[in-house]
Structure formats: C-alpha cells, structure tokens
C-alpha cells in the first residue's frame, strides 16, 4: 500500500539509472522542482534525453554502488531488469527511497499524474471544468489519443501506441486492455478504469465520453486505451465523433485486432489458398441488445468462406443452429478460442453439429470471453500450432527482482479480447 504523500526535493540529489520512459518523464519534472540529478546509463546520449538542466550530472557507464553516495531518491528504469533489481537492493540497504519503472508496485514510491497538478478523479466523478473557467484561467484543450492496445499479449502493442502512453497525463483504460501496458508505458500518468464487462461495468459509454471530454478541456493529454483496435467494434467511432464535435484535437492509433491475431495464436489462418479466400467479421451483440434478423443470419451463413464472430461465446448454440438452418453444412469446422493470445488461452475444435457438446465436455467454466471461427480454415490448426499458453511454467517462482517485462508478457494474468 502506498500513502499519498508529498516529498520536498529542492536541492536534494536524485539518482536516475537507465534510459526508460520513467527516467525520461522525470528528468524535466525533477529539474522543475530544483532537484540535483545524477543520471547513470552506458548508452544515454544528450539527444535522447533532450535539453538538460544545469543541475544534472551525466555518468555514461554501468551503474555502480558508489552512485548512491549522498542520494535522497532513486529512479531506476534500465532495459535489464537485473540492473533495476540490483539498484533497488542497494537503495534499500542504504535506506534510500526507490522507484522502479519496470515494476512500479514493488518500489517505495508511485507518482500518478506527474505532468499535472489537477485533482485525481474516478470514472463517475464530474470534474470541476466550470470552476477553472470561473477563476479566469484559459486552458487550451489537451489532445486525446484513441489507442488500440491489441488483443491481450502486451507485446502486440504498436510502437506508436507505446509512445502515446508515455506522453499521457491520464489514461482511461478498458477491461480488455492488458494492465501491464499501463504500468510499463505510463507509470507517471493518472490511471482511470472505465472497463465494461458483462455484468460488471465500471463506467457507461456515455460517462466515459463525458470524462474524456472534461479531462481534455482541462488541458490534459489523454490516452484512451482500448482493447484490440479502436474502430473494430471498439466504439472508437463514437468517441472520435464526440471529440470532433467538441473541438478537441485527437488521433486514432490503430491496434492489432483480435480478428486476425487470436486465430493466428490458435494456429488458424483466416484466409488460406487451400481452405478459403474470403472472410467476414461479425458481432452478435447489437446496439440496444437487438437480435439478428433472419435475413442477417442468412447473409452470414451464405456469405464469406470464413466467419469471425466476436463476443458470441454465450450464444454458441444459437449461432451453430442458425448457420445450419440458413444453409451452412453441419460438418463445417468451428473453433472457439477463449482468452486469446494470453497465458490462459484455450481452443475448442469441432463442427457446427458438435461444437456445443465439445465445449461443454472440455470447458471448466473459468474461460473468459471468446472468439468463434467458422470455416474450413479451422482444419489448418493441426499443422500450424506454435503458441503454447503457460499459466505456470519454469518462471512461476521468479521473484519481483528477477521478473522482466518479457517474462510478464508470457506469464501475465491476461485479459482477453
């Protein structure tokens, strides 16, 4: 547990180890508060860290224990987690406070909202925009980035998405966006959970849009982190239009969609010259809870070679029955993939005639949301298996000091698309 306290750092020596995003974010902030800085990293160059304050001492080499001499606060965010672990051990032995960029929760200090002094808020709070205006302060709108987080594996975040997270003052994140991305790439930002899951909504879509607009009107850089791709059944279009109408600058950062990535992790190509050359993507859940019409089912059944059905696990029986009724052969291969691209991924293979019984027989009830693939491409899985989900594995006993972001990516408690 971390207490909300404030530290007086004016004139005090702060050690920064490594060249990660936390170090980059803190150099100007610490300098702004007149701290003395000592930066240690063998690869760091002046161009990487930007304009340097007069009070910074550069040591372009590997970290040594002597670098802690006279230090009040340590920030470590090296590429090598062993270095971060050694720095943390040395700092605690010397009685010095430590912040870690790779494992923020294991450090002594977490600093939310480094780039802003505005109050923190929850997803259901109303922010004091009117009060800002009444004080006569004119704040230019901040920028909003609608970022696709990918399907669950944090390694599938795009380079541009990571850069936008590093630049954010506040992150609004969905339930299906892997939490490792927020802790790794936005350690300095305020985090607000606006996730929506069946039966457990932290925030309605309307409240999320309202909150996003209010934060931007306060001049804050907002990262809206959404699972998969923002504009593929991600309501990114609704949010972009709201931002446009409010006159707030925004950008859309496409993400790796579950549409192709989840089948790929299950060894299933969505197109293949041997099995099928066309595909269609559908969501079974319509706005307002409306059901698909008979005509929609017929077009789907008689449409592309491969069908990708999102958010349809609970309606698997209805899907199989309707597709057969509307003309798909009962022997058509089907795959249900749950918790795709994460360590909890499961794959159930059958046909339209057998898939419901196959899932009932093999599932244990702990599966997350799923994606359904219908078509001959499913037959390719037997010769395309490459991803082995490992909820345990040889790294399960690794300590915080030994665990790297890469290992966490493989062993994470993933949240599926």
Residues forming the active site: 174, 196
- CA distance linking residue 182 with residue 200, whole number of Å: 21
- CA distance linking residue 308 with residue 310, whole number of Å: 7
- CA distance linking residue 381 with residue 276, whole number of Å: 14
Kindly state the DSSP code that residue 72 receives in the 8-state scheme: S
Q: Is 74 helix (H, G, I), strand (E, B) or coil?
A: strand
**Cβ count within 10 A of residue 264:** 19
Q: Tell me what percent of the chain is helix, strand and coil, each rounded to the nearest 5.
A: 35, 20, 45
- CA distance linking residue 127 with residue 113, whole number of Å: 15
Regarding beta strands 333-338 and 346-351, do their DSSP bridges make them parallel or antiparallel, or are they unpaired?
Answer: antiparallel
- Calculate the CA dihedral of residues 381, 384, 390, 394 and round it to 10 degrees: 150
Indicate the helix (H) or strand (E) that contains 191: strand 190-193
- CA distance linking residue 223 with residue 241, whole number of Å: 16
Q: Which residue has the tokens 């609970």?
A: 314
- CA distance linking residue 111 with residue 339, whole number of Å: 32
End-to-end CA distance of the chain: 30
Q: Which residue has the tokens 């969905």?
A: 174
Token couple for 69 = 């001499």
- CA distance linking residue 21 with residue 183, whole number of Å: 11
**Cβ count within 10 A of residue 231:** 18
CB 190 within 8 Å of CB 113: yes
Kindly state the DSSP code that residue 411 receives in the 8-state scheme: H
CB 190 within 8 Å of CB 215: no
Q: Which residues, in sequence order, are CB contacts of 22 under 8 Å at separation 6+? A: 75, 77, 99, 101, 187, 188
- CA distance linking residue 21 with residue 186, whole number of Å: 8
């Amino acid at each position: 547990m971390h207490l909300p306290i404030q530290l007086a750092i004016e004139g005090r020596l702060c050690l920064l180890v490594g060249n990660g995003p936390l170090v980059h974010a803190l150099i100007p902030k610490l300098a702004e508060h007149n701290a003395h800085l000592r930066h240690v990293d063998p690869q760091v160059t002046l161009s990487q860290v930007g304009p340097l304050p007069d009070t910074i001492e550069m040591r372009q080499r590997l970290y040594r224990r002597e670098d802690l001499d006279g230090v009040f606060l340590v920030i470590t965010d090296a590429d090598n987690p062993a270095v971060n672990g050694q720095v943390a051990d040395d700092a605690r032995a010397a009685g010095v406070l430590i912040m870690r960029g790779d494992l923020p929760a294991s450090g002594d200090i977490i600093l939310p909202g480094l780039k802003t002094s505005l109050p923190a808020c929850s997803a259901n709070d109303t922010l004091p925009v009117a009060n800002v205006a009444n004080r006569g302060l004119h704040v230019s709108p901040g920028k909003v980035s609608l970022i696709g987080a990918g399907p669950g594996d944090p390694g599938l975040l795009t380079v541009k998405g990571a850069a936008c997270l590093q630049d954010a003052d506040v992150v609004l994140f969905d339930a299906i966006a892997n939490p490792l991305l927020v802790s790794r790439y936005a350690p300095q930002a305020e985090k607000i959970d606006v996730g929506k899951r069946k039966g457990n909504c932290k925030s309605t879509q309307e409240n999320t849009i309202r909150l996003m607009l209010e934060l931007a009107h306060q001049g804050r850089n907002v990262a809206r982190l959404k699972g998969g791709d923002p504009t593929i059944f991600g309501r990114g279009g609704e949010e972009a239009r709201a931002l446009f109408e409010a006159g707030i600058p925004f950008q859309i950062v496409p993400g790796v969609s579950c549409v192709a990535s989840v089948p790929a992790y299950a060894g299933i190509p969505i197109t293949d010259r041997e099995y099928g050359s066309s595909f269609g993507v559908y969501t079974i859940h319509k706005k307002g809870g409306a059901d698909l019409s008979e005509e929609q089912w017929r077009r789907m059944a008689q449409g592309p070679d491969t069908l990708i059905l999102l958010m349809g696990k609970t309606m698997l029986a209805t899907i199989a029955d309707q597709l057969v009724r509307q003309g798909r052969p009962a022997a058509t291969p089907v795959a249900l993939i749950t918790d795709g691209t994460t360590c909890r991924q499961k794959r159930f293979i059958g046909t339209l005639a057998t898939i419901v019984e196959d899932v009932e027989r093999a599932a244990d009830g702990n599966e997350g949301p799923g994606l359904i693939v219908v078509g001959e491409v499913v037959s390719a899985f037997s010769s395309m298996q490459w991803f082995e989900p490992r909820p345990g594995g040889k790294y399960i006993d690794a300590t915080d000091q030994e665990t790297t972001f890469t290992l966490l990516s493989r062993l994470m408690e993933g949240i599926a698309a």
